Copies of this chain bind each other. A is one copy, B any other.
Amino acid sequence: MLPKLNVVPFVNVDNMMKLVLAIGVERFLTELAAFVEADFKRWELFDKTPRVASHSAEGVIELMPTSDGEVYGFKYVNGHPKNTRDGRQTVTAFGVLADVSTGYPVLLTEMTILTALRTAATSAVAAKYLAPKGARTMALIGNGAQSEFQALAFKALLGVDRLRLYDIDRSASLKCVRNLSNFGFDIEICGSPEEAVVGAEIVTTVTADKQYATILTDNMVGAGIHINAVGGDCPGKTELHADILRRSDIFVEYPPQTRIEGEIQQLAPDHPVTELWRVMTGSAEGRRDAGQITLFDSVGFAIEDFSALRYVREQVARTGLFDELDLLADPDEPRDLFGMLLRAKAAQTAA
């Protein structure tokens, strides 16, 4: 049978949830992390560009394209911190994969849930290379939509099973405890960021809606810890005091984007940073010693979405959890697009 050239497989929110539940969240995160790691290891062959952002007073809308030469992918994603006031998500997203040789889309999928999963998977992959060996305790500062995904990714990939939660809104921490109650964590809700970091080998910051907020101050960060700085990620939005950055070895995804959006926007534009992919391929050192402070200044890069889209494409092909979308005009004769309209009209008249 000839392929239906007009059809693009589409994964809606319902099917994405079914897929995640069928695979299991922790296994999904582990397998997705393997895709992310594989793509970081072939980093150099990707077409890379800082995301294309359209800023407004209320937030930002971004397009994040990349390609490995055979497959092209992009994500549409917004960031609107005030959205939660009227029941909307701060971040929503959808994404597309396309065949480079024809330009035809081969997958359209929701990416709100998928972005939460890929962000957490990427954090955990980075920590595999950067966190102290055997780390089991993580401070989780900011207990919003991303927090449970972070916790589960660190459990699945590193064996982190003790969480110290802090959020400016205690009900967010309670929600996080409730959602994680059946996943085997030992969880403590803390009254301040200072309290949360006590005894933690890994500190994950994942807050939003802060103008140059200082979630962590310098005196809170002891020797040897790994900081996973996930929140912020916008010009004018940071979470860490600049003094922490100066004491840390900083690892980033794509420097041209991180220097604009990440914690390091507070530093000089030539402040030394290490690209994470170099640590994975062995061309740069990750954690050297037990006293070193490592910092993953994560802003989220298009290649991580590409990995997530690749993974989902394989999984939906296997499970059939997709719909067929009539997205592409497909006239019988490709140069006869107008004739397709005329034939549709003739069919209407005949009916």
Q: Which residues does A use to contact B, with CB under 8 Å? A: 5-6, 10, 12-14, 16-18, 20-21, 25, 47, 49, 52, 54, 56, 58-61, 63, 65, 67, 69, 72, 74, 76, 78-80, 83-84, 87-90, 92, 94, 96, 98, 100-105, 110, 112-113, 116, 143-149, 172, 175, 178-179, 325-331, 333-342, 344-345, 348
- Nearest-CB residue, chain B, relative to A335: B144
Q: In the complex, are the beta carbons of A335 and B175 less than 8 A apart? A: yes
Say which residue of B17, B67, B101 sits within 8 Å of A340 (CB atoms).
B17
- Nearest-CB residue, chain B, relative to A109: B327
Copies in the complex: 2
- In angstroms, Cα B89 to Cα A104, docked, is 9
CB distance from A139 to the nearest CB of B (A): 19
- A13 with B327, Cβ < 8 A, contacts A63-B63, A83-B334, A88-B334 known: yes
Most chain B CB inside 10 Å of its own CB: which residue of A16, A79, A342: A342
- Nearest-CB residue, chain B, relative to A77: B103
Between A and B, 9 residue pairs with Cβ closer than 8 Å are A14-B326, A21-B341, A54-B65, A54-B100, A56-B100, A89-B334, A92-B329, A113-B337, A175-B336
Q: In the complex, are the beta carbons of A341 and B113 less than 8 A apart? A: yes
CB distance from A141 to the nearest CB of B (A): 15
Q: In the complex, are the beta carbons of A335 and B72 less than 8 A apart? A: no
Q: In the complex, are the beta carbons of B84 and A92 less than 8 A apart? A: no
Chain B residues whose CB sits within 8 angstroms of the CB of A100 once the complex forms: 54, 56, 58, 61
- A179 with B336, Cβ < 8 A, contacts A74-B63, A326-B14 known: yes
- In angstroms, Cα B342 to Cα A72, docked, is 32
CB distance from A46 to the nearest CB of B (A): 10
- In angstroms, Cα B331 to Cα A310, docked, is 25
Chain B residues whose CB sits within 8 angstroms of the CB of A179 once the complex forms: 336, 338-339, 342
Chain B residues whose CB sits within 8 angstroms of the CB of A72 once the complex forms: 54, 61
- Nearest-CB residue, chain B, relative to A86: B102
Chain B residues whose CB sits within 8 angstroms of the CB of A341 once the complex forms: 17, 20-21, 25, 113
- In angstroms, Cα B336 to Cα A147, docked, is 10
Q: Would you list the 3 A-B pairs with minimal beta carbon distance, nearest first?
A: A78-B103, A148-B338, A112-B329
CB distance from A107 to the nearest CB of B (A): 13
Say which residue of B20, B102, B340 sits within 8 Å of A88 (CB atoms).
B102
Chain B residues whose CB sits within 8 angstroms of the CB of A143 once the complex forms: 335
Chain B residues whose CB sits within 8 angstroms of the CB of A335 once the complex forms: 84, 143-145, 172, 175
Chain B residues whose CB sits within 8 angstroms of the CB of A149 once the complex forms: 337-338
- Nearest-CB residue, chain B, relative to A8: B94
